[in-house]
Amino acid sequence: MPLELTHAATEAALAAAILDTALTPPEGLLGRDGGPLVRRFAVHRATTTFGLIGALATRYPVTEKLLGVETFADLARAFLAHDRPTRSLLLDWGEALPDFVETLDDLADWPFLADVARLEVAWTRAHHAAEAEPIGLDALARLTPEDLSDARVALHPSAELVTSPHPVASLWASQQDGADPDAEIDWTPETVLVVRPHADVLLHRLAPAAHAFVAALAAGRDVTDASLAAAEHDPDFDAGAHLVGLVRLGAVVAVDDLEPGLAAPSETAP
Amino acid sequence: MTRLASPRTATERFATLPAIGGVGFKPQHFDDILADARGVGFFEIHAENYFGAGGPPHRRLATLRERFPLSIHGVGLSIGGAGPLDRDHLARLAALVKRYEPQSVSEHLAWSTHAGFGFPDLLPLPLTEETLDRVVDHIDETQDALGRPLLLENPSTYFRFVASTIPEVEFISRVARRTGCGLLLDVANVDVSATNHGFDPMSYIDAFPLDRVAEIHLAGRFETEDEAGHPLFVDAHGSPVADPVWRLYEAVVDRIGPVATLIERDDDIPAWDVLAAEAGRATTILEAARTGREAHADAA
């Protein structure tokens, strides 16, 4: 870098040579006593690459366990060529990994992997979500049957639904500490309600009718409407029992004549 | 009895951490810390790990904050960057500081974003009149947003810029004078840079504006070599503090007296008692310095 280069131009040259490791380090840098520079510059390349791979591994521990550390690192490196953080803050970065996994021919034999990663995205979002106090069963008991059928339900701000044609929650559970990773998994589609009512993130499997019910409530529809949506999957669906189940889980923060839209967590679907 | 008013210390002006050993907080140590944190006087967190809205990170931090003094250490504001500060990042830092009312807030003389790319690293900048003005502007803006003084940390560097015209210590001194900020002296960084560039770390300490130092960092380094066979130390935070760094630290404490001292460990994290013992070693050195000073004052 000649002396007249500005701060911005110097920074641009450094950034480019960190992003593209095939480039030689920028001119205008000095090693010790004007000596060699490549290994010195490589410290920053390594810190950035390993920092980003580490951030992905922290965010996708189950995906990493399923693939193995080496293969996951290869996946992370490939992802880096495709998606870089746009700011120094990594809290929100890496959510595009599941979509990227689906584009890889090498992982075509692992069609469930993207959905497992999507479940991990929902887990992390729930982990960091805002606090809200779940209601107790007494709040339900105060409502008349008429009030209840018109009521809208506000789910906890951490609540999110993940739907998959694969047994994502069972796969996730099989990789947790203390679980038997080789235990037989019933290979059926699973829908999961991810919610963190208190300190711990909970993964709660929902049958198709219950999923339709929760998705309708989450979209701001009232309990009667949501029951009708569920009945399309199960004519004997018991809305009252399921509502009690959601409250017991800690997934409900209000039951009332809410403005539509208040109860609208995002739904992740493949 | 009349007494001359003594000048306010850095601990009163810039940060109010107790002058004992502290440890970088890791969630896996939470239960052990609550059970026994003897010899550990404060905890430090990386601000960006707490930029989420709620959940276990904030629940743990709230509990920790009830029991211990807290240092909030930013690692991504990019104060040394050529572009404007990320306003959202600064607002989230300010909200965190407001929420937890820490005894110390610090950041780095480094950058980590450029033109829509973020780097999980603390990258170096040329030290010139141009970059000095920009760093001053960024610290002014940060201190305005936080409503309190910032501590600026000296960097660890692996190479120099031909374009640099201002020695690092002079750069830091002028930034501190113009912004009124305090300083975080990372003794391990001094040793890393001194080794990498072949200067005497004590001469750096001698020239450093020690009256503004309100916190000290200690950490382990990774030792390798460059192509010419010169030692190349990397600021890796993955091992215990090395003995030469302890000796340098003792010389600093001897010079400036007891100052809050943090053991940084971000990789290959050991059991809680191992880190607590390292903080305890710092506390012992600080207590010896305090006793020595009191004895000196009594004699005088």
Q: What is the DSSP code string of B102-146?
A: -SEEEEES-EEEETTEEEEEEE----SHHHHHHHHHHHHHHHHHH
Residue B39's pLDDT is what? 87
Q: Which residues of B touch A14 (CB under 8 A)?
A: 114, 123-124
- Whether B67 is in a domain gets the answer yes
- A2 versus A162: which is more confidently predicted? A162
Residues in B touching A199 (Cβ below 8 Å)? 55-56, 59
| Statement: residue A269 has pLDDT above 80 | no
The token pair that represents B38 in the structure block = 């003897």
Say what the pLDDT of residue A261 is.
Answer: 43
CATH number, domain of B204, equals 3.20.20.150
The domain ranges of chain A are 1-110, 132-270
C-alpha B86/C-alpha A54 separation (Å) is 24
What residues 259-298 of chain B have any CB closer than 8 A to a CB of chain A? none
Min Cα distance A122 → chain B (Å) is 13
Domain limits for position B126 = 21-293
Dump pLDDT digits (tens) for A3-49. Answer: 457 999 999 999 999 999 899 999 999 999 989 999 999 999 999 99
Q: Which residues contact A156 (CB under 8 A, 6 or more apart)?
A: A129, A132, A134, A195, A196, A197, A250, A251, A252, A253
Closest CA to B154 of B235, B40, B236, B233: B235
B26 lies in some domain: yes
B162–A196 CB contact, under 8 Å: no
| Strand pairing report for A160-164 and A152-155 | unpaired
Identify the residue with better confidence: B211 or B298.
B211
For residue range A53-83, list pLDDT tens digits in order: 999 999 999 999 999 999 999 999 999 999 9
Mutate to test the interface with A, among B107, B114, B224, B232 (most CBs of A within 10 A): B114
Q: How many domains does chain B have?
A: 1
Instruction: Give the phi and the psi of residue B47 in degrees, each rounded to 5.
Output: -50, -45
- In this prediction, residue A86 has a pLDDT band, given cuts at 50, 70 and 90, of very high
CB spacing of A85 vs B117 below 8 angstroms: yes
Question: In chain B, which residue ranges form alpha helices assigned H by DSSP?
Answer: 10-13, 30-35, 56-67, 87-100, 129-146, 168-179, 187-197, 201-207, 243-256, 272-299
A 10 A CB-CB count for B185 gives 27
- Is B161 within 8 Å of A30 when comparing Cβ atoms? yes
CB-CB neighbors (< 8 A) of A80 in chain B:
none
Q: Is residue B163 part of a domain?
A: yes
- For A192-206, the pLDDT digits (tens) are 999 999 999 999 999
Per-residue model confidence (pLDDT) at position A79: 97
Contacts A43 to B, Cβ<8 Å: 158, 232, 234
Q: What is the mean pLDDT of chain A?
A: 92
Residue A238 has pLDDT above 90, yes or no: yes
- Measured distance CA(A12)–CA(A120) in Å, rounded: 34
pLDDT for B151-176, tens place per residue? 999 999 999 999 999 999 999 999 99
Q: For residue B292, what pLDDT is reported?
A: 85
Q: Which helix (H) or strand (E) holds A169?
A: helix A168-174
Instruction: Note whether B230 contacts A35, CB cutoff 8 Å.
Output: yes
pLDDT at B7: 58
Question: Distance, in angstroms, between B7 CA and closest chain A CA?
Answer: 38
B228, A31: Cβ pair inside 8 Å?
A: yes
Judged by DSSP in three states, B43 sits in strand
Q: Is residue B300 part of a domain?
A: no
Closest listed residue to residue B137, CA positions, set B89, B185, B85, B90: B85
| Residue B255 domain flag | yes
Cα B113 from Cα B123, distance rounded (Å):
9
Q: How much is the average pLDDT of A120-135?
A: 97
Which residue of chain B comes nearest to A158, CA vs CA? Answer: B55
Top residue of B50, B159, B171, B199 to mutate, by most chain A CBs within 10 Å, is: B159
Rounded to an integer, the average pLDDT of A172-178 is 95
CA dist A90 and A93 (Å) reads 5
Q: Rounded distance, CA B34 to CA B36, Å? A: 6
Give residue A182's pLDDT band: very low, low, confident or very high (50, 70, 90). Answer: confident
Residue B283 belongs to some domain of the structure: yes
Q: Report the distance separating Cα B264 and Cα B44, nearest Å.
A: 9
Question: What region does B80 belong to: left with phi over 0, alpha with psi -120 to 50, or beta?
Answer: alpha
Q: Is the confidence at residue B191, as pLDDT, over 60?
A: yes
Q: Which of A248-262, B7-21, B140-154 has the lowest mean pLDDT?
A: A248-262
Q: How far is CA A155 from CA A132, B20, B126, in A?
A: 10, 46, 51
> Looking at this predicted complex, what is its ipTM?
0.94
Q: Say yes or no for a CB contact (<8 Å) between A48 and B119.
A: yes
**Which residues of A are less than 8 Å from B108 in CB distance?**
none
The pLDDT of B192-213, averaged and rounded, is 97
Q: Where are the beta strands (DSSP E) in A61-189?
A: 152-155, 160-164
**Closest residue of chain B to A84, computed from CA coordinates:** B117
Q: B61-72, pLDDT tens digit by residue? A: 999 999 999 999
Determine the Cα–Cα distance for residues B168 and B271; give it in Å rounded to an integer.
Answer: 36
CA distance B57 to B80: 28
Whole-angstrom distance, CA of residue A225 vs CA of residue B116: 45
> Does the beta-carbon distance from B55 to A131 stay under 8 Å?
yes
pLDDT tens-digit series, residues B111-155: 999 999 999 999 999 999 999 999 999 999 999 999 999 999 999
Rounded to the nearest 10 degrees, what angle do helices B243-256 and B187-197 cross at?
Answer: 120
Partners of residue A163 on adjacent β-strands: A191
* Non-local CB neighbours of B278 within 8 Å, separated by 6+ positions: B21, B23, B218, B240, B241, B263
User: In chain B, which among 206-235 make CB contacts under 8 A with chain A?
Assistant: 224-228, 230, 232, 234
- How far does CA A246 lie from the centroid of its chain? 21
> Model pTM?
0.93
Residues of B whose CB is below 8 A from A129: 52-55
- Distance from the Cα of B84 to chain A's closest Cα (Å) equals 11
Spatial neighbors of B293 by CB under 8 A, at least 6 apart, are B257, B258
Which DSSP state fits A1?
A: -
Determine the distance in angstroms separating the CA of A191 from the nearest CA of chain B, rounded to an integer. 23
